[in-house]
Chains A and B, each alone.
Chain A
């Protein structure tokens, strides 16, 4: 088709740059600068949607984000996006869009039957109809049909292929809206040298001024826009954000904005995000958000061809489109006369201007011009109703003396203007109702300054001067400026009249909220049924819900509620303005923090070696740790069993870089350790380390680890991997709040040191080949600590050597600066080769520690256990005070029936069930009294048995008993023998050899 309704001249579109697009499977052409809506109108397409509830035919109603009707489904497949207003879609070559909520087609829609049955679909229809039977299941059944019949577009099912990102920014002044008021504010603010950000939801700045023929400061409007924008763009302290909607105003002047970065491109650049969520902190905010025109509720005011008067003018002036061939303008104010004049200019016949005001009130300069242009004006008249099928064909106009029919295919409506105050209200600004303008206007404000139409200053001249002064106030607090406000000719406008609805014969639908199919009668019915609070009215009728949030209809709805309940509009009030102002893509909220970046991942210095040697990985906190190193054909479990067995038979090495490491220095470290740990520390000597137990203030076990004395005033503490941060915070809190007088300094060195634990009867043989110090048992006994150098192919590496054991075997930890972690690891692997050394992962490490009955934080030390529960009561030194000790005296923590750590061995060769509880009789009916639960379990390749650690009531008294471990969830049970929580070498001889 050939853009039959495109004007030959004018507009801010590029006729030479044609763009092909598809709507409902048909191909059309538009121009660069078009929106999907303007391009459809240029091609004479007026039926673009079916309504939400009644499936009534609908056309394009607005020209901006307030559009209630023309919601379309954009693109296909994984990029498809529902409920996008066609008025906000910039046309690009190859754009694909489809109408929504119709079947089989827009033209022939089976769902339109709902329209003929509409008498039976009153407000609150669902609540009234689908109440029986009153079960959740019944509603779920109904819901399927309701969802299919009523509705919006479809969400994509496939994963979103696009990238989204966040952008933080800071400025002195944020100006929301780049129309005449916003540009005047920006020009004024920029002149004072502040940091400025100006955003506009459209692709170009200028707002309502684009395509208009006004003269500002002696130049034509488009030249003024271009000049102002160019000056702003050239200023390094100004950021211009087109295609960016400020959707929310939050505490501390934080504004959330959504930038549609690449939606308008046929072929988006490969690396750009599709949308960008801005979080801008501004010292001051100017809201030049303009005003939304209101509809008037008359019969069949939803027929395609019905349009807000300002929108019709935008289509003519900005997009050079004839939105119809014969128009009727229905207004309560002067602004629609500009539309009538524009239509006449564009060759659209104006059948009549129907003005609700009396002849004497129609005295502004625009009506005067309309009269002069010979346009017919019906004063003191209203449109009672429209007729037509899929497009308006005529309207009935009622005046004092008569009712007559006017043929037309376009009705331009103006029921007045409502300032856009969503952000103002979100920023806790208060509103007042202005009777003369029939609108809520901003009243008090903190640092958010409304300007122009948003401030109730209508007309170009008022917008420019109000914007100018708001910009200066925001930037400088109102200091005098040499820059004067932009000047333009001031229109003399007459007062508007308040008109919300026009009564007509019963049964005709007078829509208040087009998007949600809420009529004037629905509101009256809801009021009769007692829904007199505006918040209840919204929820009962759905007035003001949905993607458009009732931008063109809310005020009419609450005015009708006021009428129906005999109250004033201020008494009824508005519903709460909540963010977002317009819908925000979900993907923009996580932004770049999705996929692999949902949380950060930590890698040890040896990670690549593990990858190269076939390790499987497991998450330990944020760390990726090797689970095991399966050989060809080996399962991870078999690999772990092989590795665990090899540690007890030969020697293994495990990456323990993830352990928390904290260094302490200062005169008072020993005293500090005495207070922090339950056991005694002032007897530690340089070159020695010790196992330590930390308690919370309530006496419960916090963490276990070791501390080594490296020098007289220098110590190294290790913590469990998961508790590294928690322990550091615990120490810092104690030093800063409890004992600031102690001269102790702490720092985390987890990142500084890569560490490997070398474990097994042959560990010393391997180590002696690696290091330059004597590591014989005499020279370097159990719990010795020292410094040495590790021999590596590229030179020796300085290291800290700690003789301690988690596996229960002869073992050493080798700590080296993380830079040298991989070189050290490879040196260990090479030195170990003749001794059968194998690397082992966390799974074998767990098996080894369960065999030894060593606790881990989280499983055994689960935030409820005391040292005594865990069999570590002897570590709580009786002779000294420590954190947690006083509250350890509570009777309940010393009760005889506390759960105590025991070892379990599965009998009958059955595997240990996961997450089992321990009972006397496995077959007793629920609730089966629980004596305790399994905390850790594994297959022990060294014992050839399933073993577990468990917390069991009076556990230490039960050694030798046989009980049952049952898992009702897994439907598994096994007989278990209770014993001490140590299965191998209870005397600890192997680690001291």
Chain B
């Protein structure tokens, strides 16, 4: 069997690598996620997104807006990733999609598209910066902002909340990214915490 088809490093809670804990990883399970697209300056669209998700979509690059139920991450000039905080606030996807389509926008269900991990600890930024050219310093990448870049060869979305990063990658790459990340973190020692809902 090729090395690629073997399992990846353990995702079970526990301590790995060197003594000490440079990084604490925990998978953040995503109850629901949507890609919302549209022109935020169009009144009907802005009004509908506000009504449906209780959030005003952020228009400044790499910023995040939050309501009780979702985090809205800026992805591009007309594109946002809405991540359900804890439980999905949408009862009926089709009706919501239709009302956003009517308002001149779009709603795509991408709930299973990404795998997310939270990374905390004194070496979290250092470990990310081994494979990503983004400046993770708090003055360059403040709390409650996000950034898209490459992690190694893979597209990744980074979110910062205080000293905790959330890293989101496409699901099919997740095993490979986990392997690379934990290999980089082992020199500082790392803990894997229990899965928790994305907040």
Contacts and interface: CB of A to CB of B under 8 A. Distances in A.
B110 A747 contact: yes
Contacts of B171: 605, 751, 818
Interface stretch (B53-61, B63-71, B82-90, B100-108): B100-108
Contact of A817 (B111, B183, B186): B111
A170 B180 contact: no
B108 A747 contact: yes
A663 B108 contact: yes
B101 A714 contact: yes
B97 A593 contact: no
A666 B2 contact: no
A752 B104 contact: no
17 contacts: A165-B130, A170-B135, A596-B3, A603-B172, A604-B172, A611-B1, A617-B2, A617-B4, A624-B2, A714-B97, A745-B106, A745-B108, A747-B35, A751-B170, A751-B172, A752-B109, A752-B113
A752 B112 contact: yes
B131 interface: yes
Contacts of B111: 752, 817, 819
A587 to B, nearest CB: 15
Given A617-B5, A667-B104, A751-B110, 16 more contacts: A163-B183, A168-B132, A168-B133, A271-B18, A271-B186, A271-B187, A602-B176, A603-B172, A604-B172, A611-B5, A623-B172, A666-B101, A743-B104, A745-B78, A749-B110, A817-B109
B195 interface: no
Interface string A601-620: 11111011001000001000
B62 interface: no
Contacts of A743: 104
Contacts of B187: 269, 271-273
B11 to A, nearest CB: 13
Interface in B124-157: 126, 129-135, 137, 139-140, 152-154
Contacts of B113: 749, 751-752, 818
A326 interface: no
Contacts of B175: 601, 603, 607
Contacts of B112: 751-753, 817-820
Contacts of A750: 172
A596 B1 CA distance: 13
A665 interface: yes
B50 interface: no
Contacts of B133: 168, 279, 281
Nearest to B8: A603
A670 B97 CA distance: 17
A504 interface: no
A168 B150 CA distance: 12
A163 B185 CA distance: 13
Contacts of A908: none
B4 A624 contact: yes
A747 B37 contact: yes
A263 to B, nearest CB: 15
Interface string A149-170: 0000000000000010111111
A599 interface: yes
Contacts of A273: 187
A593 B104 CA distance: 43
A597 interface: yes
A600 interface: yes
A868 B32 CA distance: 45
B140 A597 contact: no
Nearest to A657: B172
Q: 6 nearest interchain CB pairs?
A: A745-B106, A271-B186, A665-B106, A602-B172, A170-B135, A817-B112
B114 interface: yes
Interface string A488-524: 0000000000000000000000000000000000000
Given A170-B137, A663-B108, A751-B112, A600 B153 contact: yes
A166 B131 contact: yes
Contacts of B108: 663, 665, 745, 747, 749
Given A166-B130, A166-B131, A751 B17 contact: no
B126 A270 contact: no
A600 B152 contact: yes
Given A600-B152, A745-B38, A819-B112, A592 B180 contact: yes
B160 to A, nearest CB: 15
Interface string A125-159: 00000000000000000000000000000000000
B98 interface: yes
B141 to A, nearest CB: 10
Nearest to A170: B135
B111 to A, nearest CB: 6
A601 B174 CA distance: 9
Chain B CB within 10 A, most for which of A607, A711, A745, A749: A745
Interface string A747-773: 101111100000000000000000000
B176 to A, nearest CB: 5
Interface in B169-199: 170-173, 175-177, 179-180, 183-184, 186-187
Given A592-B131, A751-B113, A752-B112, A601 B176 contact: yes
A423 B97 CA distance: 57
A491 B179 CA distance: 58
Contacts of B5: 607, 611, 617, 624
A601 B97 contact: no
A419 to B, nearest CB: 32
B94 interface: yes
A834 B186 CA distance: 48
Contacts of A163: 183
Nearest to A272: B187
A566 to B, nearest CB: 51
A282 B49 CA distance: 41
B38 to A, nearest CB: 7
B12 to A, nearest CB: 15
Contacts of B38: 745
Contacts of A623: 172
Contact of B176 (A600, A608, A711, A749): A600
Contacts of B173: 600-602
Nearest to A744: B106
A713 B101 contact: yes
A195 interface: yes
Nearest to B109: A752
A667 B186 CA distance: 51
Contacts of A665: 37, 97, 101, 106-108
Contacts of B79: 747
A711 B97 contact: yes
Contacts of A195: 137, 139
A750 B98 CA distance: 22
Interface in B1-32: 1-5, 7, 17-18
Interface in A802-818: 817-818
